Amino acid sequence: MKSVNGTNESARPLIVGTVNGANIVVDATILGHAAFVYVTLKSGCPYAMLSPPAWPARPHLTGKAHSSGISNTQTIPAGTRLSLLPVEAAALVAAGAAVYS
């Protein structure tokens, strides 16, 4: 459990995409106000991004119209450098699909 505003909250797992069929899951309990971080997708690891409900727009999508849900999947090719929320970047690195760059 995490302490949020003085109360304890359970983890809120959220699937934000897939890499080679494996779900990329973040804990969406606290997204915070952290600055975006950069990761580079490893060779052979394209990232199929999803736009789950209430998930913030990613910087490279800012200004583009998009809706929530699986119908908005966008596959980012391996080798691409992305700017993401720290929790999403950490999930990709933990899955072995990206490195911080």
Residue range 20-62, pLDDT digits in tens: 999 999 998 877 677 888 999 999 999 999 988 878 777 665 5
What residues pair up with 27 in beta bridges, in sequence order? Answer: 13
Q: What is the pLDDT of residue 52?
A: 86
Residue 2: band (very low, low, confident or very high) from pLDDT cuts 50, 70, 90:
low
Q: What is the pLDDT of residue 69?
A: 42
CA quadruple 66, 28, 60, 94: dihedral, nearest 10: -130
Q: What is the pLDDT of residue 67?
A: 45
Total number of residues shown for the chain: 101
What residues pair up with 46 in beta bridges, in sequence order? Answer: none
Tell me 44's DSSP state. T
